[in-house]
Structure 1
Amino acid sequence: MGPFISKYGIVFVLLAMVIIMSFLSPSFLKTQNLLNIIRQISFIGIVGIGVTIVIITTGIDLSSGSVIALTSVMVASFAHPGDSLVISLLIGVGVGVACGAINGIISTKGKIPPFISTLGMMTAARGLALLYSDGRPIPNLSEPFMFLGRGVIAGIPVPIIIFALVGIVSHILLAKTKFGKYTYAIGGNVQAAKICGINVDRYLILIYVYAGLLSAIAGMLLTARVSVGQPSMGVSFELDAIAAAVIGGTSLAGGVGTIPGTIIGALIIGVLNNSLDLLGVSSYWQQILKGAIIVSAVLIDSRKNKKA
């Protein structure tokens, strides 16, 4: 019973929240409300998936929100009516990959802790976003681009579809490929991984590149959703992404974590925020409760590690 609860306890927490809210608010289980919850957490979920893979290696990525902002203004300036959608998307991908590569190279080749290297990127990328946009929003985006954030396919919002695709691809990557096996090996024991012949630096750089790419994807979807490039976009997204990963069972000690767990963690954050909104609870209390949940998740993880 113990291992079962340990493995699926987070799912029961989510189900309990849904059941309780279905009684407290008749609006909660309406299809439109549920779609809104998933659409709202899709952006955090995509970033959280990248952050999860980083944390599994005992790393951290604090730059996600700033990469979102830099991607937003860069893409928006190339996504006006008449501009090529493909070119604008490639620019967004390039921004994310470049930021992730810099994070990975500084951490591995520069031997600087990921906390410091990504903190530096968090500050620099936000500054670049403000410099590039002159601190102003970039409006007048094309309809094809805005479809990515506002469009609906077969009744399902496009951001949810992209979130699902990112989740499936990332789960396969982490659970079924050499990349995933090496990721867990690095997080479990980096010295043992080196002895086994794993090129640790190479894979860590690839992991940070992937995290940067997912932040860029979230940035493009958010920009399309709000129809404007914002240098202030993505503030505190890195914290919500880390929260989703930790709540979903990813261990800050490394070597433990799953993509489905992070998705459940993001859903718990989304259900919590939506529930408190429906119940008219102040946004200040929402922040306090979210902080309490994060601390509780880390305490539980710490006790598991001590027992192990």
Structure 2
Amino acid sequence: MAQVSIQAKKKENMLLDVGIGMKEFVRNNLGILIGLFVLCIIISVINPNFLTSNNLLNVLRQTSTNLYLALAMTMIIILGGIDLSVGSIMAVVGVVTTTLIASLGAPVLVAVAVGLLVGVLIGAVNGYVAATTIIPPFIITLATMNIARGAAYVLTDGKPVRVMSDSFNFIGSGYIGGFLPTPVLYLIILLILCYFIMNKTKLGRHMYAVGGNAEAAKFSGINIKKVKFFAYAFSGLMAAIAGIVLASRMFSGQPTAGNAAELDAIAAVVLGGTSMTGGYGRIGGTVIGALIIGVLSNGLNLMGVSSFWQFIVKGIVILVAVYADVIKRRKG
């Protein structure tokens, strides 16, 4: 009887923690949540097809690739850094993976493992240089962005690498249970992982400390080099996952894949309220920021708006959102 009572108490405490967490999430992101809700209403009024289940799943599928990058970018920006290489890592990883399958006949699992390793290695190089030198992360990742993009073109001679493997194509184009797109399943898993790292581990607390005041963090005994190295290596891994999923969806490795993807990732992080100066940010805010970008792109496509105008609209939305966030923080 006592054991049943203890289990009931634990369950009650768990539900209470979830309730408190949801309340805090809504309070911290109320502004952009309202913005996302209003945007959805406006688009659905203009085009009722927006609210169909197929279209909403399509929005999630398209947004998932950006979110893989944005989740890791949140960590890096909280540290006070930046990673411009993620789009190029997507391209070179996609090319390497598809080349191994199409040209060398490698098993899909082996090719995917090699692709992931390539992404982690590039991220590790970024992290090592950022942690051990005074070169700004902007310059470091700008260099690796060009190197990785160039490598993708050299490996393919500028041509796409076609893959006709059902098992590989399932990675980015398949469904779980007949309704859940595989990229969305990966996203759910990665969201849980990133939330756990940032909110439940010592490493996550150290990222906030380093981003808030690196000198103070150093004197408090935090290994700044280790924290930076992890963040950039993890960013390389997430970019590799995004590159493999995108290559699978396109049935080919494209040297042009991921072009300007780093900008969409940064935009999602900034829209989510993460400070570009470091020390402040939330994974939940980044998710909402990415959803705003995804919904906006999908809505503009449904309305037949030219892709040229879409760049302008996105830029205006980001500028307004950041300005509103600055005003809110000043008042706070």
Q: What TM-score do you get using the length of structure 1 for normalisation?
A: 0.95
Letter in structure 1 aligned against 2:64: S
User: What SS is found at the alignment partner of 1:257?
Assistant: coil
- How far does residue 134 in structure 1 lie from its aligned partner after superposition? 1.8
- How far does residue 301 in structure 1 lie from its aligned partner after superposition? 3.8
How many angstroms apart in 1 are the aligned matches of 2:160 and 2:43?
37
- How far does residue 6 in structure 1 lie from its aligned partner after superposition? 5.4
How many angstroms apart in 2 are the aligned matches of 1:83 and 1:206?
29
- Change in CA separation of 1:89 and 1:37 when aligned onto 2, cut-off 3 Å: same
Q: Which residue of 2 aligns with 1:293?
A: 317
Give yes or no for contact 2:273–2:325 (8 Å, CA) kept in 1: yes
Among 208, 216, 222, the residue aligned to 1:184: 208
- How far does residue 131 in structure 1 lie from its aligned partner after superposition? 1.1
- How far does residue 55 in structure 1 lie from its aligned partner after superposition? 0.4
How many angstroms apart in 2 are the aligned matches of 1:4 and 1:31?
25
Q: Which moved more, 1:33-42 or 1:77-86?
A: 77-86
How many angstroms apart in 2 are the aligned matches of 1:157 and 1:7?
27
Query: Is 1:64 matched with 2:93?
Result: no
Among 153, 158, 171, the residue aligned to 1:135: 158
How many angstroms apart in 2 are the aligned matches of 1:304 and 1:105?
36
Letter in structure 1 aligned against 2:73: V
> Unaligned regions of 5+ residues in structure 2, if any?
1-24
- How far does residue 83 in structure 1 lie from its aligned partner after superposition? 2.8
Deviations 1:128-160 (A, max 9, x none): 111112221111342111101110012111011
How many angstroms apart in 1 are the aligned matches of 2:331 and 2:130?
31
- Change in CA separation of 1:109 and 1:16 when aligned onto 2, cut-off 3 Å: same
Query: Is 1:215 matched with 2:239?
Result: yes
How many angstroms apart in 2 are the aligned matches of 1:31 and 1:245?
26
Q: Which moved more, 1:19-28 or 1:245-254?
A: 19-28
Q: Give the aligned CA root-mean-square deviation in angstroms.
A: 1.7
Q: Which residue of 1 aligns with 2:52?
A: 30
* Structure 1 outlier segments of 4+, above 4 Å: 3-6, 304-308
Among 157, 167, 176, the residue aligned to 1:153: 176
Q: Which residue of 2 aligns with 1:48?
A: 70
Query: Is 1:77 matched with 2:99?
Result: yes
Higher-Rg structure is 2
Q: Which residue of 2 aligns with 1:8?
A: 30
Q: Which residue of 2 aligns with 1:19?
A: 41
Q: What TM-score do you get using the length of structure 2 for normalisation?
A: 0.88
- Change in CA separation of 1:36 and 1:7 when aligned onto 2, cut-off 3 Å: closer
Provide the identity percentage.
44
Q: Which residue of 1 aligns with 2:124?
A: 101
> Unaligned regions of 5+ residues in structure 1, if any?
none
Among 276, 285, 308, the residue aligned to 1:284: 308
